[in-house]
């Protein structure tokens, strides 16, 4: 999955986040990549994931590996700065 950022560079001081919501379940925080490229993943996820970025295109990406039916969800990307989340649906 791809998230394109507009309005400011992906290298600005944000955390770039992936979140999902499975049918009938609450939002689940999946992980993030920082403005400097560091990543952190939710250790409770069943399927391994990878979050990467492409600074020249101002985009960041979510790759799911070993996908199962449990990964059926609406996926959201967001930018986190100063405690606020900016969503793209």
Quick check: 46 and 60 in contact, CB under 8 A? Answer: no
Residue 5 has pLDDT above 70, yes or no: yes
- For residue range 42-88, what is the model confidence (pLDDT) as tens digits? 999 888 999 999 999 999 999 999 899 999 999 999 988 765 655 65
d(CA 87, CA 21): 13
Quick check: 77 and 10 in contact, CB under 8 A? Answer: no
- For residue range 21-39, what is the model confidence (pLDDT) as tens digits? 999 999 999 999 998 999 9
Q: Which domains does the chain have, with CATH numbers?
A: 2-88 (2.60.40.10)
Confidence of residue 19 (pLDDT cuts 50, 70, 90): very high
Confidence of residue 10 (pLDDT cuts 50, 70, 90): very high
């Amino acid at each position: 999955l791809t998230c394109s950022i507009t309005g400011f560079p992906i290298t600005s001081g944000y955390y770039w986040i992936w979140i999902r919501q499975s049918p009938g379940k609450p939002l689940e925080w999946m992980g993030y990549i920082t403005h400097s490229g560091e990543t952190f993943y939710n250790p409770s996820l069943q399927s391994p994931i990878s979050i990467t970025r492409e600074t020249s295109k101002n985009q960041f990406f979510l790759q799911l590996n070993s996908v199962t039916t449990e990964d059926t969800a609406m996926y959201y990307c967001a930018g986190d700065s100063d405690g606020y989340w900016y969503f793209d649906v």
